[in-house]
């Protein structure tokens, strides 16, 4: 098999990297930018660091701070309208995954004479827009989505109740681990599990490549070693540095190799139950590991090794079960809730079958995602993690 690999954009990584935002904007030739964020990121002072850096570099800016969870379409439309009215030549997103997704979509909508509904319809049909996005700088404040280094912007269609992935490549990523210091335990856990799901699915999609594999294995090792440390001590900079790197590596990995059925299921849960994406990913990834082990037994065994687990068996089914159960135990220790904890019944989660069966990412799964496979996977999410 011939695997292609690449990287979308440069990454500035390290403590205080956010202070180079103005310098990066100048490198990209930007004169006036829209800074996309939310009120919580503003309250923590992170957005101010960006604004101060832009001011020092004499780059003009306008702030849009109305982002919401799951990047709803109406927020994207409002941000794009502001970008057009202010005639900005670039967008800077600083925040968690929903902020970065919103910033990406805003940068694309701002350059095209279409509504956000038309943009999402085009994304559904894989129809490119006439114009590319504004230049785009991504600055994550969580360690999970890897969105700063992926081409995907996941937007919520609030009319059709779907999550749609639009193609929007970033121009530059700034990853500053200090921005994640003090992150609450639950967000630390869920974002870490999001990154883990990216790594595991990138390793087991139908289009893996050696570059993505290396980055994904590295991400898994870092997450298993450092996520418990960050949960125990939210101000541990070494832990935050490793988790930020793991998230970025996993994002780069899945941008090439892509995620598959696990994310199709996670998107269905987000659209149907408004479950935070990282929780949905945490609940589904052990099921996916069991599902793909017969196709990729050596890779699943190596995933277990990266988790610190020695798997003696050569039986693919046993390998998958042992690694999946080890991951479930890890999640229990970190406090990942069950579906029952989330007030989602067994019948409720099985009701997501139709959504998943129509979600495009399912086709990248190495096991044919029939309705029976999807339903069985959803059932195992409920039955296998109590």
pLDDT greater than 70 at residue 3: no
Q: Residue ranges of the domains in the chain? A: 11-179, 183-383
pLDDT greater than 90 at residue 316: yes
> Average pLDDT of 46-54?
98
Residue with tokens 């007030």: 343
Q: What is the pLDDT of residues 71-95, one digit of tens each?
A: 999 999 999 999 999 999 999 999 9
DSSP 385: -
Closest by CA position to 365, among listed 284, 298, 307: 284
Q: What is the pLDDT of residue 208?
A: 87
Edge to edge, the sheet with strand 90-95 lists: 11-13, 172-175, 135-140, 90-95, 32-36, 60-64
The CATH topology of domain 183-383 is: Dehydroquinate synthase-like, alpha domain (1.20.1090)
pLDDT greater than 80 at residue 5: no
- The SS3 of residue 130 is coil
Query: Are 11-179 and 183-383 the same fold in CATH?
Result: no
Q: What is the pLDDT of residues 171-203, one digit of tens each?
A: 999 999 999 999 999 999 999 999 999 999 999
Q: What is the pLDDT of residues 111-163, one digit of tens each?
A: 999 999 999 999 998 899 999 999 999 999 999 999 999 999 999 999 999 99
31 pLDDT band, cuts 50/70/90, is very high
Q: How far is 339 from 348, CA to CA, in rounded Å? A: 10
Q: What is the pLDDT of residues 258-286, one digit of tens each?
A: 999 999 999 999 999 999 999 999 999 99
Q: What is the pLDDT of residues 319-351, one digit of tens each?
A: 999 999 999 999 999 999 999 999 999 999 999
Q: How far is 142 from 46, CA to CA, in rounded Å? A: 12
- Contact in structure between 85 and 106 (CB atoms under 8 Å): no
Chain-wide mean pLDDT for the chain? 96
Closest by CA position to 190, among listed 231, 162, 229: 231
- Contact in structure between 106 and 91 (CB atoms under 8 Å): yes
4 pLDDT band, cuts 50/70/90, is low
Q: What is the pLDDT of residue 7?
A: 80
The CATH topology of domain 11-179 is: Rossmann fold (3.40.50)
CB-based burial label for 195 (10 Å; 0-12, 13-18, 19+): buried
Residue with tokens 């702030």: 63
- Contact in structure between 164 and 120 (CB atoms under 8 Å): yes
């Amino acid at each position: 098999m011939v695997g292609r690999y690449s990287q979308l954009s440069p990454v500035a990584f390290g403590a205080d990297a956010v202070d180079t935002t103005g310098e990066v904007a100048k490198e990209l030739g930007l004169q006036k930018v829209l800074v996309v964020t939310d009120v919580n990121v503003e309250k923590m002072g992170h957005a101010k660091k960006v604004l101060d850096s832009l001011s020092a570099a004499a780059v003009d800016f306008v702030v849009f701070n109305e982002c919401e969870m799951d990047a709803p379409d109406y927020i994207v439309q409002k941000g794009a309208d502001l970008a057009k009215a202010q005639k900005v030549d670039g967008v800077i997103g600083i925040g968690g995954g929903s902020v970065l997704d919103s910033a990406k979509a805003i940068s694309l909508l701002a350059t095209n004479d279409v509504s956000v509904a038309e943009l999402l319809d085009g994304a559904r049909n894989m129809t490119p827009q006439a114009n590319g996005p504004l230049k785009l700088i991504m600055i994550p404040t969580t360690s999970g989505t890897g969105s700063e280094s992926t081409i995907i912007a996941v937007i919520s269609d609030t009319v059709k109740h779907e999550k749609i992935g639009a193609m929007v490549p970033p121009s530059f990523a700034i990853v500053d681990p200090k921005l994640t210091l003090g992150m609450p335990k639950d967000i630390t856990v869920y974002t870490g599990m999001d990154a883990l799901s990216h790594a595991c699915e990138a390793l087991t999609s139908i289009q893996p490549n050696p570059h993505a594999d290396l980055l994904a294995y590295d991400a898994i090792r870092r997450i298993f070693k450092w996520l418990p440390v960050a949960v125990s001590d939210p101000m541990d900079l070494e832990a935050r540095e490793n988790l930020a790197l793991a998230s970025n590596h996993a994002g780069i990995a899945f941008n090439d190799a892509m995620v598959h059925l696990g994310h199709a299921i996670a998107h269905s849960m987000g659209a149907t139950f408004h479950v935070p994406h990282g929780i949905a990913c945490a609940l589904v990834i052990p099921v996916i590991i069991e599902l793909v082990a017969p196709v990729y037994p050596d890779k699943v065994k190596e995933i277990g090794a990266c988790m610190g687990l020695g798997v003696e068996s050569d039986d693919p089914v046993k390998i998958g079960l042992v690694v999946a159960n080890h991951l479930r135990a890890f999640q229990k220790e970190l406090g990942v809730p069950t579906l029952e904890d989330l007030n989602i019944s067994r019948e409720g989660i099985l009701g997501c079958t139709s959504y998943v069966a129509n979600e495009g990412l399912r086709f990248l799964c190495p096991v044919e995602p029939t309705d029976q496979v999807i339903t069985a996977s959803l059932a195992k999410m409920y039955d296998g993690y109590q």
